[in-house]
Chain A
Amino acid sequence: MNATTSSPNVTIPAVVLDLQTQLLAYLTLAANYFYRLPGSSIVLRYIKSSYQDDPVRSAVELFLFLFAVRYLLAPKYSTRETGSRGKGEVKLSEEEIDELVEDWTPEPLVPPQTAFEENEMEKRPIIVGPTGPKVKLSNGRTVTNLASFNFYNLLSSEHLKDSAIQTLRTYGVGPCGPPGFYGTQDVHNRVEADIAAHLGVAACILYAQAFSTISSVIPAFSKRGDVIVADSAVGYSIRKGLQISRSTVRWFQHGDMADLERVLKKVVQEGKGRQLTRRFIVAEGISEMVGDIPDLAALVELKTKYKFRLILDETHSYGVLGAHGRGLTEYAHVDATSVDMITGSLAGALCAGGGFCAGSDEVVEHQRISAAAYTYSAALPAMLATTASETIRLLTMGGPEAIRQLRESIKVMRAQLDPRSDWVRCTSAIEGPILILVLKDEVVRQRNLDRDDQEWLFQDIVDECLTNGVMITRLKAMPVMIGSNPREDGWQPTPALKVCVTTGLSKKEIEKAGVVIRHAITKIMKRGESQMKRISDSSR
C-alpha cells in the first residue's frame, strides 16, 4: 500500500549510478592511500576507540580538535594599533610615495626667532677676558658682575690659579677616558674623600659635569615601576633625570610638607598588596627656580615614617648653607647620613667643576657601574679636581668667616630690594646668595600682566641695569621637555630677575649696585602701561 516509497520500479538514472560507482572507487582509493600512510592504523584505532558510548565527551573532544585546526589555519595579524607593522598601516604605491615625498616640506629644525628672542640676542652682553666681580664687556665698558655664581670670589684667587697651573703641568688637561676606563687619577680619589669628609658621610662619587649629576643619579636607582615623589618646582636637570628613569612620578606642592605627606600616604596606600617597589623623594636644597629652602628635618622624618629614600639635590646649597658650607644638612642640623643621596655641584660656589653624589658605601659603589654620566663620560680634568679639593679645604678652615661675609653682602643687597621696592619681592631664603625677584602679586593683578609681559619687563630691567653698569640676569627656565606627559608639566616658574651676590665687592659697591637695580625696576615699571602694552603686543 505504500507503493510510492518502497517501489522497486523507480528507475535510477544511469548518470547517478555512474557517479556513485566513481565516488566509491575514489573513496576506496583514498582509504588505500590512508592505510599506506605510516601511523594511520594508530589514528584509526584512536578514533574507533574514542567513542565510548559517551556522545557529550566525544563532542567536547571533537570541538577541541576542530578549534585547534581552526587556530592553525587562521592568518597571522598584528595587535599593535600603530607602528610599522600595525593595523593602521596604509599600503601605498610607488607613485603615491613619490608624490608624498614631493609634497613634503620639512619643518625648520629651529623655529624662527620670536621678537623677544631677537631682542635678547641683540642686547646680550659679551664678556671679554676673565670673569670676576668686575668684568670687561666687548663694547669696552667695565661693569659690576652680579650674574655669576662667584659667591666667595674664588675666581679671583691667585692661590687657586697657581695650584691649578701646577696641576696642569703635572697631569695635563683631561684624563681622556671615563673613570672606569683609565680615567681615574689620584686627585679624583682625593677630592671624593675630601667631599665625604667635609659632609660627614661614608663615601662620595665624582661626576664630570654638574648638570648631568642628578639626571644620572636618579635613573641609576629608580627604574620603571618605581615611584618617585618630587617637589613640583624642581629644576630642569632633575626633571630630565625623572624622565630618563621612566619611573612613576608623583608631585607635591613646592616646599609643602603637609602635601608631601598626603602624597606619600597615597603612594603607600596604593602599594598595599602589590609587589614592593623602590620609592624615592626628590627635593632641592636651595630651589633653583624659587630660591627657598625646604624643611629638611620634616623631610627626613616623613621619609623615615613612610619608608622612602631621600635624594637631595644640593646643587645650589653645597658650599653656601651651614657654618662650614656643608649645605642644607649642616644648616638644618640634620645628620648627613640620614639623607640617602646628596648630590651637589662643584661648579658654582666652589668655582671648580663637576658634580658629586655622597652617601653610604653601597649607594656610591652602585653608581660606579650603573650611573650613565659616570660610566660613559670622560673623568673630570685634574686641575678642576685639585681646585675643588682646595676650595673645600678653604671652606673647612676659613668657612665661618667667608660665609659670614657672604651673609653680610646678601643682607646689604636684600635691604635695597625686598622691603624697599614697591614692585618686586624676593622669594629666596635669607641665606641664599641668588636673589630671585618676582613681581608683587598686586602689581601683576593690577596691570593684568601675563607671563610674556613679565618676561619683557624683566628683560628691559636687565638692559636698563646694564646701561647703568650692573650686569644681572633673568631666571631662565628650560623649555617643556619633548615626549613628557603634558599632565606632568603643570608647574611653570614665575618670571623673575636673578641677582647673584658676591663677596668680591665691597659693601659700598653692593649697596650702589642694589640702588641701581631698584631704580631700574622703578623706571621700567613706571614707564606707563601704554608703552608696555605696545611692546607686549609686538611680541605676539
Chain B
Amino acid sequence: MSTLSAGTTTKSGRRRRSSSLVYTEPPESLEHISDQAALPNLNSQWVNAKGAWAIHFVLIVCLKIFYDILPGVSQETSWTLTNISYMLGSYIMFHWVRGVPFDFNAGAYDNLNMWEQIDNGDQYTPAKKFLLSVPVILFLVSTHYTHYDLTYFLINFLATLAVVIPKLPASHRLRFSIFTSAPDDDP
C-alpha cells in the first residue's frame, strides 16, 4: 500500500502553471465516467431530437419579427440584432453554462459545458455539424441584408466568431482563467 501511495499519481491533474491563462480540463477518472453513465444525459440528449433542429429556425424568425415590429428599427439594425441575439443566446446555452440543471448524474458533468456534453464529447457528429452551420448561414444571410455595410459586417462577424471558435474541436475542454486562477487538484 505504501508503495502505491508514494508512487506517481495515476490521475493526471489540471496542468497548472501560475503564469498560464489557459488550461485543459483533465480527463475524468473511472469513478467520474461511471457516474456520467449512470443515467442518460438528459441535458444534452435533446439536441438530437427531431424538433430541436427546427426550433432554431423558428426562433430566428420570431426574433426577426420581434425586431421588425419595434418602431424605428431599420432592416439593417433588425438583422444585426437578430444575429447578435441568436449568437448571444446560443453562446450562453452551449458554451457558458456548465453542468446539468437537474441532479441526474451526481454532478458528474459539472466541469463541462453543454457543447462538450453533446454526444459524449464526440466531434463532427450530425448535431454538432448542424449547430455549427446555423450561425454561419445566419451570418451570411444577415451580412447580405445589411447590404455589406462595414460596421454591421464587423459586428456580425465578431458575434459569429464568438460562437464558432468554441465549437472547434481544438477548443474542446479548453478553459480561460483570466479572472480566476485555474482550479487546484492536490488534496
Contacts and interface: CB of A to CB of B under 8 A. Distances in A.
B123 interface: yes
B106 A223 contact: yes
A68 B11 contact: no
B187 A80 contact: no
A74 B124 contact: yes
Interface in B28-75: 30-31, 33, 35
Interface centre among A46, A224, A490, A492 (most CB of B within 10 A): A224
Nearest to B33: A83
Contact of A50 (B122, B137, B148): B148
Given A224-B110, A251-B187, A76 B140 contact: no
B9 interface: yes
A460 B106 CA distance: 47
B132 A224 contact: no
A249 interface: yes
Interface in A1-52: 46, 49-50, 52
Contact of B140 (A49, A65, A480): A65
A60 B140 CA distance: 11
Interface in B163-187: 164, 169, 172-173, 179-180, 183-184, 186-187
Given A79-B123, A248-B187, A487-B187, A225 B107 contact: yes
A54 B132 CA distance: 26
Interface in B94-152: 103, 106-108, 110, 120-125, 129, 132-133, 136-137, 139-140, 143-144, 148, 150
Given A50-B148, A76-B122, A78-B121, A225 B140 contact: no
Interface string A455-498: 00000000000000000000000001001011111101000000
Given A50-B144, A68-B132, A76 B125 contact: yes
B1 A273 contact: no
A76 B121 contact: no
B23 interface: no
B133 A77 contact: no
Contacts of B137: 68
Contact of B129 (A60, A71, A487): A71
Interface in A180-232: 223-225
B184 A270 contact: yes
Given A46-B144, A486-B10, A76 B132 contact: no
A246 B148 contact: no
Interface residues of A, number: 45
Given A60-B157, A78-B120, A483-B31, A72 B133 contact: yes
Contacts of A65: 136, 140
Given A46-B144, A65-B136, A488 B120 contact: no
B124 A54 contact: no
B133 A246 contact: no
Contacts of A77: 122-124
A485 B129 contact: no
Given A52-B148, A486-B5, A273 B180 contact: yes
A61 interface: yes
Contacts of B35: 224, 246
B89 interface: no
Nearest to A50: B144
A68 B136 contact: yes
A75 B187 contact: no
Nearest to A79: B121
Contacts of A270: 184
Nearest to B10: A486
Nearest to A490: B5
Contacts of A79: 121-123, 169, 172-173
A332 interface: no
Given A79-B169, A480-B1, 10 more contacts: A46-B144, A50-B144, A50-B148, A52-B148, A57-B150, A61-B140, A72-B133, A270-B184, A486-B4, A488-B187
Interface of B: 1, 4-5, 7, 9-11, 27, 30-31, 33, 35, 103, 106-108, 110, 120-125, 129, 132-133, 136-137, 139-140, 143-144, 148, 150, 153, 157, 160, 164, 169, 172-173, 179-180, 183-184, 186-187
21 contacts: A50-B148, A61-B143, A64-B164, A71-B132, A72-B133, A77-B123, A78-B120, A79-B169, A79-B172, A81-B27, A223-B103, A225-B110, A248-B187, A250-B187, A273-B179, A274-B183, A480-B1, A483-B31, A485-B11, A487-B9, A487-B187
List of 4 A-B pairs having minimum Cβ-Cβ separation, nearest first: A224-B107, A68-B136, A79-B121, A74-B124
